[in-house]
Structure 1
Protein backbone atom coordinates (compact mmCIF):
# COMPACT_ATOMS: atom_id res chain seq x y z
CA UNK A 1 0.00 0.00 0.00
CA UNK A 2 1.20 3.52 -0.76
CA UNK A 3 1.31 5.24 2.64
CA UNK A 4 1.28 8.91 1.65
CA UNK A 5 -2.03 10.53 2.69
CA UNK A 6 -3.31 7.27 4.19
CA UNK A 7 -4.96 7.35 7.61
CA UNK A 8 -2.90 5.17 9.96
CA UNK A 9 -3.88 4.32 13.54
CA UNK A 10 -1.02 3.15 15.79
CA UNK A 11 -1.47 1.78 19.31
CA UNK A 12 1.28 2.02 21.89
CA UNK A 13 2.29 5.20 20.07
CA UNK A 14 3.94 7.08 22.93
CA UNK A 15 7.14 5.05 23.40
CA UNK A 16 9.42 2.35 22.05
CA UNK A 17 8.57 0.68 18.76
CA UNK A 18 5.26 2.53 18.59
CA UNK A 19 6.87 5.95 18.84
CA UNK A 20 9.52 5.07 16.26
CA UNK A 21 6.76 3.79 13.97
CA UNK A 22 4.81 7.03 14.35
CA UNK A 23 7.86 9.03 13.31
CA UNK A 24 8.66 6.75 10.36
CA UNK A 25 5.11 6.77 9.02
CA UNK A 26 5.00 10.55 9.49
CA UNK A 27 8.04 10.94 7.23
CA UNK A 28 6.28 8.67 4.70
CA UNK A 29 3.40 11.16 4.57
CA UNK A 30 0.76 9.35 6.61
CA UNK A 31 -2.10 10.98 8.49
CA UNK A 32 -1.83 9.64 12.03
CA UNK A 33 -4.17 8.62 14.84
CA UNK A 34 -2.03 8.10 17.94
CA UNK A 35 -3.28 5.78 20.67
CA UNK A 36 -1.70 5.09 24.07
CA UNK A 37 -2.55 5.37 27.76
CA UNK A 38 -0.14 8.26 28.41
CA UNK A 39 -2.23 11.31 27.52
CA UNK A 40 0.50 13.86 28.21
CA UNK A 41 3.12 12.12 26.09
CA UNK A 42 0.60 11.50 23.33
CA UNK A 43 -0.60 15.12 23.21
CA UNK A 44 2.98 16.37 23.15
CA UNK A 45 3.77 14.03 20.25
CA UNK A 46 0.69 15.11 18.30
CA UNK A 47 1.59 18.78 18.80
CA UNK A 48 5.14 18.11 17.63
CA UNK A 49 3.90 16.40 14.46
CA UNK A 50 1.34 19.12 13.80
CA UNK A 51 4.09 21.75 14.05
CA UNK A 52 5.84 19.89 11.23
CA UNK A 53 2.74 20.05 9.03
CA UNK A 54 1.67 16.47 9.70
CA UNK A 55 -2.01 15.79 10.34
CA UNK A 56 -2.11 13.90 13.63
CA UNK A 57 -4.54 13.44 16.50
CA UNK A 58 -3.89 12.15 20.01
CA UNK A 59 -6.47 9.62 21.22
CA UNK A 60 -5.58 8.51 24.77
CA UNK A 61 -7.03 5.10 25.56
CA UNK A 62 -6.40 1.80 27.28
CA UNK A 63 -6.56 -0.70 24.44
CA UNK A 64 -7.24 -3.57 26.83
CA UNK A 65 -10.74 -2.04 27.12
CA UNK A 66 -12.81 -2.93 24.01
CA UNK A 67 -15.13 0.05 24.51
CA UNK A 68 -12.21 2.46 24.43
CA UNK A 69 -10.83 0.75 21.34
CA UNK A 70 -14.17 1.16 19.59
CA UNK A 71 -14.27 4.81 20.57
CA UNK A 72 -10.81 5.68 19.23
CA UNK A 73 -11.52 3.99 15.92
CA UNK A 74 -14.85 5.79 15.59
CA UNK A 75 -13.16 9.07 16.48
CA UNK A 76 -10.46 8.46 13.86
CA UNK A 77 -13.08 8.02 11.16
CA UNK A 78 -15.04 11.01 12.41
CA UNK A 79 -11.89 13.14 12.29
CA UNK A 80 -10.37 11.95 9.01
CA UNK A 81 -13.27 10.36 7.12
CA UNK A 82 -11.66 6.93 6.72
CA UNK A 83 -9.24 4.40 8.22
CA UNK A 84 -6.69 2.78 5.94
CA UNK A 85 -4.22 1.09 8.29
CA UNK A 86 -4.41 -0.22 11.86
CA UNK A 87 -1.11 -1.10 13.55
CA UNK A 88 -1.75 -3.12 16.71
CA UNK A 89 1.52 -2.48 18.52
CA UNK A 90 0.63 -1.96 22.20
CA UNK A 91 1.76 -4.86 24.33
CA UNK A 92 3.27 -6.01 27.61
CA UNK A 93 5.03 -9.08 28.94
CA UNK A 94 4.64 -11.12 32.10
CA UNK A 95 7.54 -13.18 33.43
CA UNK A 96 7.68 -16.28 35.53
CA UNK A 97 8.19 -19.99 35.04
CA UNK A 98 5.15 -22.16 34.49
CA UNK A 99 5.43 -23.31 38.11
CA UNK A 100 5.24 -19.80 39.58
CA UNK A 101 3.60 -17.58 36.94
CA UNK A 102 0.96 -15.29 38.42
CA UNK A 103 -2.32 -16.13 36.64
CA UNK A 104 -3.58 -12.57 37.16
CA UNK A 105 -0.53 -11.22 35.31
CA UNK A 106 -1.24 -13.65 32.47
CA UNK A 107 -4.87 -12.47 32.29
CA UNK A 108 -3.75 -8.84 32.14
CA UNK A 109 -1.43 -9.36 29.21
CA UNK A 110 -4.02 -11.51 27.44
CA UNK A 111 -6.42 -8.57 27.64
CA UNK A 112 -3.81 -6.21 26.16
CA UNK A 113 -1.91 -8.43 23.72
CA UNK A 114 -4.78 -10.53 22.34
CA UNK A 115 -8.17 -9.05 23.14
CA UNK A 116 -6.93 -5.50 22.41
CA UNK A 117 -5.91 -6.30 18.82
CA UNK A 118 -9.05 -8.41 18.39
CA UNK A 119 -11.22 -5.47 19.46
CA UNK A 120 -9.37 -3.18 17.05
CA UNK A 121 -9.78 -5.62 14.20
CA UNK A 122 -13.48 -6.08 14.89
CA UNK A 123 -14.00 -2.32 15.02
CA UNK A 124 -11.95 -1.66 11.89
CA UNK A 125 -13.17 -4.46 9.63
CA UNK A 126 -16.68 -3.03 8.98
CA UNK A 127 -15.13 0.34 8.14
CA UNK A 128 -12.59 -1.21 5.79
CA UNK A 129 -15.29 -3.33 4.15
CA UNK A 130 -17.32 -0.22 3.41
CA UNK A 131 -14.23 1.52 2.01
CA UNK A 132 -13.38 -1.44 -0.21
CA UNK A 133 -10.24 -2.51 1.64
CA UNK A 134 -7.58 -1.73 4.21
CA UNK A 135 -4.54 -3.02 6.02
CA UNK A 136 -4.15 -4.48 9.52
CA UNK A 137 -0.64 -4.95 10.92
CA UNK A 138 -0.34 -6.96 14.12
CA UNK A 139 2.96 -6.69 15.97
CA UNK A 140 3.85 -10.14 17.29
CA UNK A 141 7.29 -11.45 18.28
CA UNK A 142 9.76 -14.12 17.25
CA UNK A 143 9.35 -15.59 20.75
CA UNK A 144 5.90 -16.76 19.66
CA UNK A 145 7.76 -19.49 17.76
CA UNK A 146 10.30 -20.26 20.51
CA UNK A 147 10.45 -21.87 23.96
CA UNK A 148 12.25 -19.51 26.34
CA UNK A 149 12.11 -20.20 30.07
CA UNK A 150 10.34 -17.50 32.03
CA UNK A 151 8.38 -15.85 29.22
CA UNK A 152 5.91 -18.56 28.21
CA UNK A 153 2.94 -16.33 29.05
CA UNK A 154 4.09 -13.56 26.71
CA UNK A 155 4.97 -16.03 23.97
CA UNK A 156 1.55 -17.64 24.33
CA UNK A 157 -0.24 -14.31 23.85
CA UNK A 158 1.75 -13.63 20.71
CA UNK A 159 1.11 -17.15 19.41
CA UNK A 160 -2.61 -16.50 19.90
CA UNK A 161 -2.29 -13.21 18.03
CA UNK A 162 -0.52 -15.06 15.21
CA UNK A 163 -3.44 -17.44 14.86
CA UNK A 164 -5.96 -14.59 14.81
CA UNK A 165 -3.88 -12.87 12.13
CA UNK A 166 -3.40 -15.96 9.99
CA UNK A 167 -7.09 -16.83 10.08
CA UNK A 168 -8.27 -13.27 9.45
CA UNK A 169 -5.90 -13.06 6.47
CA UNK A 170 -7.76 -15.88 4.77
CA UNK A 171 -11.21 -14.75 5.84
CA UNK A 172 -10.76 -11.18 4.60
CA UNK A 173 -8.65 -11.66 1.48
CA UNK A 174 -11.61 -11.54 -0.90
CA UNK A 175 -12.64 -8.18 0.59
CA UNK A 176 -9.20 -6.60 -0.01
CA UNK A 177 -8.45 -6.34 3.70
CA UNK A 178 -4.88 -7.50 4.18
CA UNK A 179 -3.53 -8.77 7.50
CA UNK A 180 0.20 -8.79 8.21
CA UNK A 181 2.12 -10.18 11.18
CA UNK A 182 5.38 -8.43 12.09
CA UNK A 183 7.84 -10.37 14.25
CA UNK A 184 10.39 -8.18 16.03
CA UNK A 185 13.36 -9.68 17.83
CA UNK A 186 14.68 -8.30 21.10
CA UNK A 187 14.60 -4.51 20.80
CA UNK A 188 16.35 -1.77 22.78
CA UNK A 189 13.32 -0.34 24.60
CA UNK A 190 11.94 -0.37 28.16
CA UNK A 191 9.70 -3.31 27.26
CA UNK A 192 11.52 -5.78 29.52
CA UNK A 193 11.63 -3.32 32.42
CA UNK A 194 7.86 -2.85 32.17
CA UNK A 195 7.08 -6.57 32.31
CA UNK A 196 4.79 -7.88 35.02
CA UNK A 197 6.22 -10.45 37.41
CA UNK A 198 9.29 -10.99 39.54
CA UNK A 199 12.21 -8.78 38.55
CA UNK A 200 14.92 -11.39 39.02
CA UNK A 201 13.20 -13.67 36.53
CA UNK A 202 13.61 -11.21 33.69
CA UNK A 203 16.90 -12.72 32.59
CA UNK A 204 14.81 -14.73 30.09
CA UNK A 205 14.89 -11.76 27.70
CA UNK A 206 17.79 -11.87 25.23
CA UNK A 207 20.15 -8.90 25.12
CA UNK A 208 18.83 -5.99 23.03
CA UNK A 209 19.72 -6.34 19.37
CA UNK A 210 17.62 -3.97 17.26
CA UNK A 211 16.79 -0.29 17.64
CA UNK A 212 13.14 0.79 17.61
CA UNK A 213 13.92 2.74 14.43
CA UNK A 214 15.11 -0.44 12.71
CA UNK A 215 11.88 -2.22 13.64
CA UNK A 216 9.81 0.77 12.50
CA UNK A 217 11.53 0.61 9.11
CA UNK A 218 10.52 -3.04 8.83
CA UNK A 219 6.93 -2.17 9.77
CA UNK A 220 6.84 0.45 7.04
CA UNK A 221 8.29 -2.07 4.58
CA UNK A 222 5.51 -4.48 5.55
CA UNK A 223 2.89 -1.81 4.88
CA UNK A 224 4.39 -0.99 1.51
CA UNK A 225 4.98 -4.53 0.24
CA UNK A 226 2.31 -6.49 2.18
CA UNK A 227 3.97 -9.82 2.95
CA UNK A 228 1.97 -12.22 5.10
CA UNK A 229 4.74 -12.07 7.71
CA UNK A 230 7.58 -9.60 8.22
CA UNK A 231 10.76 -10.58 10.03
CA UNK A 232 13.77 -8.48 10.98
CA UNK A 233 16.23 -10.25 8.64
Structure 2
Protein backbone atom coordinates (compact mmCIF):
# COMPACT_ATOMS: atom_id res chain seq x y z
CA UNK A 1 0.00 0.00 0.00
CA UNK A 2 1.14 3.52 -0.79
CA UNK A 3 1.59 5.45 2.46
CA UNK A 4 1.59 8.92 0.91
CA UNK A 5 -1.96 10.20 1.29
CA UNK A 6 -3.15 7.19 3.31
CA UNK A 7 -5.04 7.54 6.59
CA UNK A 8 -3.02 5.66 9.19
CA UNK A 9 -4.50 4.95 12.63
CA UNK A 10 -1.93 4.10 15.33
CA UNK A 11 -2.83 2.82 18.80
CA UNK A 12 -0.50 3.34 21.73
CA UNK A 13 0.68 6.45 19.91
CA UNK A 14 1.71 8.52 22.93
CA UNK A 15 5.25 7.11 23.19
CA UNK A 16 7.75 4.52 22.03
CA UNK A 17 7.05 2.50 18.90
CA UNK A 18 3.61 4.05 18.46
CA UNK A 19 4.87 7.64 18.49
CA UNK A 20 7.79 6.73 16.23
CA UNK A 21 5.45 5.01 13.77
CA UNK A 22 3.15 8.02 13.71
CA UNK A 23 6.09 10.34 12.99
CA UNK A 24 7.46 8.07 10.28
CA UNK A 25 4.05 7.73 8.63
CA UNK A 26 3.53 11.49 8.71
CA UNK A 27 6.94 12.08 7.13
CA UNK A 28 5.94 9.62 4.40
CA UNK A 29 2.88 11.74 3.64
CA UNK A 30 0.19 9.94 5.65
CA UNK A 31 -2.68 11.55 7.47
CA UNK A 32 -2.29 10.16 10.97
CA UNK A 33 -4.86 9.32 13.63
CA UNK A 34 -3.22 9.11 17.05
CA UNK A 35 -4.94 6.88 19.61
CA UNK A 36 -3.83 6.67 23.25
CA UNK A 37 -5.04 7.37 26.77
CA UNK A 38 -2.56 10.17 27.42
CA UNK A 39 -4.36 13.05 25.73
CA UNK A 40 -1.76 15.77 26.25
CA UNK A 41 0.99 13.66 24.68
CA UNK A 42 -0.91 12.79 21.54
CA UNK A 43 -2.19 16.34 21.10
CA UNK A 44 1.39 17.63 21.32
CA UNK A 45 2.45 15.01 18.82
CA UNK A 46 -0.38 15.89 16.44
CA UNK A 47 0.83 19.50 16.46
CA UNK A 48 4.09 18.31 14.87
CA UNK A 49 2.23 17.02 11.83
CA UNK A 50 0.54 18.84 9.04
CA UNK A 51 -2.61 16.73 8.97
CA UNK A 52 -3.27 14.64 12.06
CA UNK A 53 -6.02 13.85 14.52
CA UNK A 54 -5.44 13.06 18.22
CA UNK A 55 -8.19 11.04 19.89
CA UNK A 56 -7.86 10.09 23.58
CA UNK A 57 -9.12 6.52 23.86
CA UNK A 58 -8.77 3.38 25.95
CA UNK A 59 -8.57 0.60 23.35
CA UNK A 60 -9.90 -1.93 25.86
CA UNK A 61 -13.21 -0.04 25.80
CA UNK A 62 -15.03 -1.11 22.62
CA UNK A 63 -17.43 1.83 22.64
CA UNK A 64 -14.57 4.32 22.98
CA UNK A 65 -12.67 2.84 20.08
CA UNK A 66 -15.69 2.59 17.81
CA UNK A 67 -16.41 6.26 18.56
CA UNK A 68 -12.79 7.08 17.70
CA UNK A 69 -13.14 5.31 14.36
CA UNK A 70 -16.30 7.32 13.70
CA UNK A 71 -14.45 10.56 14.46
CA UNK A 72 -11.62 9.58 12.13
CA UNK A 73 -14.07 8.79 9.33
CA UNK A 74 -15.84 12.12 9.83
CA UNK A 75 -12.50 13.91 9.47
CA UNK A 76 -10.84 11.93 6.70
CA UNK A 77 -13.57 9.84 5.08
CA UNK A 78 -11.55 6.63 5.10
CA UNK A 79 -9.15 4.48 7.12
CA UNK A 80 -6.41 2.78 5.13
CA UNK A 81 -4.11 1.42 7.81
CA UNK A 82 -4.44 0.22 11.40
CA UNK A 83 -1.29 -0.25 13.47
CA UNK A 84 -2.14 -2.16 16.64
CA UNK A 85 0.74 -1.15 18.87
CA UNK A 86 -0.85 -0.59 22.30
CA UNK A 87 0.33 -3.22 24.74
CA UNK A 88 1.85 -3.99 28.13
CA UNK A 89 4.18 -6.56 29.68
CA UNK A 90 3.83 -8.78 32.72
CA UNK A 91 6.89 -10.14 34.51
CA UNK A 92 6.19 -12.93 36.99
CA UNK A 93 6.85 -16.64 37.31
CA UNK A 94 3.94 -18.98 36.70
CA UNK A 95 3.26 -19.52 40.40
CA UNK A 96 3.28 -15.77 41.02
CA UNK A 97 1.15 -14.48 38.14
CA UNK A 98 -1.83 -12.56 39.47
CA UNK A 99 -4.85 -13.85 37.50
CA UNK A 100 -6.36 -10.36 37.48
CA UNK A 101 -3.15 -8.96 35.99
CA UNK A 102 -3.19 -11.71 33.38
CA UNK A 103 -6.80 -10.96 32.45
CA UNK A 104 -5.98 -7.25 32.10
CA UNK A 105 -2.96 -8.12 29.96
CA UNK A 106 -5.04 -10.29 27.65
CA UNK A 107 -7.64 -7.55 27.33
CA UNK A 108 -5.00 -5.10 26.10
CA UNK A 109 -2.63 -7.37 24.17
CA UNK A 110 -5.14 -9.74 22.57
CA UNK A 111 -8.79 -8.74 22.90
CA UNK A 112 -8.20 -5.07 22.04
CA UNK A 113 -6.50 -5.89 18.70
CA UNK A 114 -9.49 -8.07 17.84
CA UNK A 115 -11.91 -5.26 18.69
CA UNK A 116 -9.92 -2.65 16.76
CA UNK A 117 -9.73 -4.89 13.69
CA UNK A 118 -13.47 -5.49 13.88
CA UNK A 119 -14.04 -1.74 14.05
CA UNK A 120 -12.03 -0.85 10.92
CA UNK A 121 -12.63 -3.89 8.69
CA UNK A 122 -16.11 -2.79 7.48
CA UNK A 123 -14.66 0.46 6.13
CA UNK A 124 -11.68 -1.32 4.60
CA UNK A 125 -14.04 -3.78 2.91
CA UNK A 126 -15.98 -0.85 1.41
CA UNK A 127 -12.71 0.57 0.13
CA UNK A 128 -11.65 -2.90 -1.11
CA UNK A 129 -8.23 -2.15 0.35
CA UNK A 130 -6.55 -1.85 3.71
CA UNK A 131 -3.60 -2.84 5.83
CA UNK A 132 -3.40 -3.97 9.45
CA UNK A 133 -0.11 -4.37 11.30
CA UNK A 134 -0.32 -6.07 14.69
CA UNK A 135 2.75 -5.63 16.88
CA UNK A 136 3.73 -8.90 18.55
CA UNK A 137 7.13 -9.60 20.15
CA UNK A 138 10.21 -11.65 19.43
CA UNK A 139 9.90 -12.98 22.97
CA UNK A 140 7.53 -15.67 21.69
CA UNK A 141 10.54 -17.50 20.21
CA UNK A 142 12.30 -17.65 23.57
CA UNK A 143 11.64 -19.62 26.75
CA UNK A 144 12.42 -17.06 29.41
CA UNK A 145 11.39 -17.62 33.02
CA UNK A 146 9.05 -14.87 34.16
CA UNK A 147 7.79 -14.03 30.68
CA UNK A 148 5.06 -16.67 30.41
CA UNK A 149 2.03 -14.39 30.63
CA UNK A 150 3.36 -11.77 28.23
CA UNK A 151 4.74 -14.30 25.75
CA UNK A 152 1.44 -16.21 25.81
CA UNK A 153 -0.53 -13.06 24.97
CA UNK A 154 1.74 -12.26 22.04
CA UNK A 155 1.79 -15.86 20.78
CA UNK A 156 -2.00 -15.81 20.76
CA UNK A 157 -1.93 -12.52 18.83
CA UNK A 158 0.27 -14.20 16.23
CA UNK A 159 -2.27 -16.95 15.61
CA UNK A 160 -5.22 -14.53 15.63
CA UNK A 161 -3.43 -12.36 13.06
CA UNK A 162 -2.49 -15.27 10.81
CA UNK A 163 -6.10 -16.43 10.64
CA UNK A 164 -7.37 -12.88 10.12
CA UNK A 165 -4.92 -12.53 7.24
CA UNK A 166 -6.36 -15.62 5.55
CA UNK A 167 -9.94 -14.51 6.13
CA UNK A 168 -9.69 -10.99 4.70
CA UNK A 169 -7.15 -11.43 1.91
CA UNK A 170 -9.87 -11.74 -0.75
CA UNK A 171 -11.18 -8.32 0.29
CA UNK A 172 -7.87 -6.66 -0.58
CA UNK A 173 -6.85 -6.31 3.06
CA UNK A 174 -3.41 -7.37 4.28
CA UNK A 175 -2.97 -8.33 7.95
CA UNK A 176 0.69 -8.41 8.96
CA UNK A 177 2.72 -9.05 12.09
CA UNK A 178 5.70 -7.11 13.41
CA UNK A 179 8.10 -8.80 15.83
CA UNK A 180 10.38 -6.26 17.54
CA UNK A 181 13.26 -7.26 19.76
CA UNK A 182 14.21 -5.27 22.86
CA UNK A 183 13.46 -1.65 22.08
CA UNK A 184 14.46 1.62 23.74
CA UNK A 185 11.06 2.69 25.08
CA UNK A 186 9.15 3.13 28.35
CA UNK A 187 7.85 -0.43 28.03
CA UNK A 188 9.86 -2.22 30.74
CA UNK A 189 9.10 0.47 33.29
CA UNK A 190 5.36 -0.05 32.86
CA UNK A 191 5.12 -3.84 33.11
CA UNK A 192 2.76 -5.51 35.54
CA UNK A 193 4.42 -7.70 38.13
CA UNK A 194 8.11 -7.04 38.83
CA UNK A 195 9.77 -4.19 36.96
CA UNK A 196 13.08 -5.11 38.61
CA UNK A 197 12.92 -8.68 37.31
CA UNK A 198 11.98 -7.44 33.84
CA UNK A 199 15.00 -5.14 33.80
CA UNK A 200 17.25 -7.98 34.95
CA UNK A 201 15.92 -10.32 32.27
CA UNK A 202 16.47 -7.69 29.61
CA UNK A 203 20.01 -7.01 30.80
CA UNK A 204 20.84 -10.73 30.91
CA UNK A 205 19.59 -11.34 27.37
CA UNK A 206 22.72 -9.99 25.76
CA UNK A 207 20.59 -8.17 23.19
CA UNK A 208 21.37 -4.59 22.25
CA UNK A 209 18.22 -2.47 22.50
CA UNK A 210 17.02 -1.11 19.16
CA UNK A 211 15.52 2.29 18.52
CA UNK A 212 11.79 2.79 18.24
CA UNK A 213 12.52 4.52 14.94
CA UNK A 214 14.01 1.31 13.51
CA UNK A 215 10.86 -0.60 14.43
CA UNK A 216 8.71 2.15 12.94
CA UNK A 217 10.52 1.92 9.60
CA UNK A 218 10.03 -1.85 9.58
CA UNK A 219 6.31 -1.34 10.23
CA UNK A 220 6.09 1.08 7.32
CA UNK A 221 7.83 -1.46 5.09
CA UNK A 222 5.18 -4.02 6.09
CA UNK A 223 2.41 -1.58 5.22
CA UNK A 224 3.95 -0.99 1.80
CA UNK A 225 4.60 -4.65 1.02
CA UNK A 226 1.64 -6.33 2.71
CA UNK A 227 4.01 -9.14 3.71
CA UNK A 228 2.88 -11.64 6.31
CA UNK A 229 5.47 -10.65 8.89
CA UNK A 230 8.77 -8.98 9.64
CA UNK A 231 11.10 -9.10 12.61
CA UNK A 232 14.09 -7.31 14.09
CA UNK A 233 15.19 -10.31 16.15
CA UNK A 234 18.74 -11.66 15.70
CA UNK A 235 19.05 -15.09 14.08
CA UNK A 236 20.57 -16.49 17.26
CA UNK A 237 17.32 -15.71 19.06
CA UNK A 238 14.95 -17.14 16.44
CA UNK A 239 14.56 -14.19 14.11
CA UNK A 240 15.95 -13.25 10.72
CA UNK A 241 18.20 -10.31 11.62
CA UNK A 242 21.79 -11.00 10.64
CA UNK A 243 24.08 -10.84 13.65
Give the TM interval when normalised to the shorter protein. Answer: over 0.9
Match of 2:32 in 1: 32
- Distance in structure 1 (CA, Å) of the matches to 2:176 and 2:42: 25
With 200-209 and 72-81 compared, the bigger mean Cα shift is at 200-209
Check the 8 A contact 1:151/1:204 in 2, yes or no: no
- Distance in structure 2 (CA, Å) of the matches to 1:208 and 1:40: 31
Q: Deviations over 1:42-78 (max 9, x none)?
A: 11111221xxxx2100000011111111111121111
- Distance in structure 2 (CA, Å) of the matches to 1:8 and 1:145: 29
- Distance in structure 2 (CA, Å) of the matches to 1:196 and 1:90: 15
- Distance in structure 2 (CA, Å) of the matches to 1:46 and 1:177: 27
Shift of 1:16: 0.4
Match of 2:19 in 1: 19
> CA-atom RMSD, angstroms?
1.1
With 165-174 and 39-48 compared, the bigger mean Cα shift is at 39-48
| TM-score, normalised via structure 2 length | 0.91
- Distance in structure 1 (CA, Å) of the matches to 2:130 and 2:70: 15
Match of 2:160 in 1: 164
Find runs of 4+ consecutive structure 1 residues off by over 3 angstroms. Answer: none
Match of 2:201 in 1: 204
Does 1:89 find its partner at 2:85?
Answer: yes
- Distance in structure 1 (CA, Å) of the matches to 2:126 and 2:23: 29
Shift of 1:198: 2.3
- Distance in structure 1 (CA, Å) of the matches to 2:118 and 2:142: 28
Shift of 1:164: 0.8
Shift of 1:199: 3.1
Task: Give ranges in structure 1 of 5+ residues lacking alignment.
Answer: none
Match of 2:59 in 1: 63
Check the 8 A contact 1:34/1:56 in 2, yes or no: yes
With 199-208 and 3-12 compared, the bigger mean Cα shift is at 199-208
Does 1:73 find its partner at 2:69?
Answer: yes
| TM-score, normalised via structure 1 length | 0.95
* Aligned counterparts, 1:1-233, within 5 A: 1-49=1-49, 54-202=50-198, 203-205=200-202, 206=205, 208-232=208-232, 233=241
